[in-house]
Structure 1
């Protein structure tokens, strides 16, 4: 049995009639930008996250960029962020002319280490940008405490974690600004690119809304240089249909993740696999189910699964501090040991909501067979 890493069509197909009807309504109205579906989605996301404001934009990357611009972060400023994340996190900082300062992660959660963040603060530091990686909130309590102590902004990169919580409060409402992505593979995925920004600061919300529309207010009167970064109404209409299913998607992902953990532990595979955990006081929405495979066996396991037509993925094989485009920052191997170890060891297994029990069993059995072969080889080599 082949098992895909992700199957977007399985999620969209049951909703296709509703999505088509919502898009058709937009086409009939002609309100392709700033239409009613955009306003409704903004209100829904703000209420869901527990913020006063939400501003639609063209992508999760633009959400980060607009947040930085709204906070007047630019040349001469530093932003502390993880190296173990998607490129957009650091790329947005670079784009505004600021300097990304990479900090290490907490091994158990893959999220930004508050202790490492604090030791990297300088007089040039203006913000901390934690990433709620793989669907689990970073330690926002500690990071906010550090930010308050040093008078810093906190920009949440919540692209992978809509609905995740810390202390019962959802991400997007835990920092100064929250940034989300509606890329099709996300927990709330659209039909293309899209993003949204959340905040409780009315002044920042107003500024970000203007920045997303070329910096004009009213039309043709530009008080700042902005972007063309509007969430189009067609996307908002489709996402609005799927939004009603968001919590059920998260519940299905959590069910799959707990079954993986339970089965891998019961089968005694914890000496081969490092299974993911969730820190106390947090709830993950499991954008990814990511194990650790030690002793250089990660790539072998991925190949083993691929030969059996089982999907898997490596997020992220080259940490950002070692990427060629950031070479001038002067980082070298060994600077962020936990990040570099994770890049060598992590492997994400299928966890999408529509994954069947039979498919998941196929994954578990394949991983178990690989582990058994690995143990046999170890005994033979030791003999």
Structure 2
């Protein structure tokens, strides 16, 4: 057999494992766990903490949905204006005056101290203010996340009924433009492949992660875990948060959202590219060795099957059927995520092209890091933790 045929057979073997042995990551049925009818006997106090930096463009779509929460217990919202230059804080006050609903407090902590990322610095300030209200739960949610009126009620009911310390939902990201349709569902698909939700949600978990856009966190667990101080340098703060909670003995649940949506637009490839490149190399712990392994892995798993099919058919090689079957399994596992995002299934065979884009984004993330532009976001650039701690 040709070298290409061996690579194609290797890719097929990997896809057989991913299909059956990686926690059924491709299924999309991990939604909020069941709760008793009517909810808990006593609805605990909740404080919602929203870090916001230059979010005037999305706040009118997201903040009113938080203020309008139909929650039977006591709840309030703290929006932390993280050095915005677009009037985010003033806009938030105006929206609260216009829409009413839950009480809103807007505060600003000033520029982050050395060793803190901006979002976690804002969360530190907001969580400290929240704890003064003695809530049983904190809802940490991004400024671009819109919640259906029953979202908070369902989150709290799921946490109390199932004894969970952290309940996180991966918000349904916006999918409207061509590039969003091509890239966004794959982003969630790749995340679930890396952190299978079933493995996270087991009584004896095999993986640990959270989705930072929507995290309901038990306050006493946050204190026991030392959050957010213990993760103050984290660029990928949601996974770091989940690991800190797990180390403190907390129970975690992660799934796909039905009542929580991101309203942030990514109309062009450039915006999506920057979103992925911002943290891709940090995910690889800034390791050139892990980068090389990731690039090689993406090439073998996602790029070899279509190349083998085309080249094998042209040359009459066994690579054709191995590549074709691997490509079919790949597309089949991607189908459920496309359905979740209400996208046509003809996008599934394009996954190798999308994976190639992610490969390039990951390499670009490493290049940016070594050029000193690292994890750049809204005017701030973060060095890797080792470098930050030496300042």
TM-score range, shorter chain: under 0.3
- TM-score relative to the length of structure 2: 0.26
- TM-score relative to the length of structure 1: 0.26
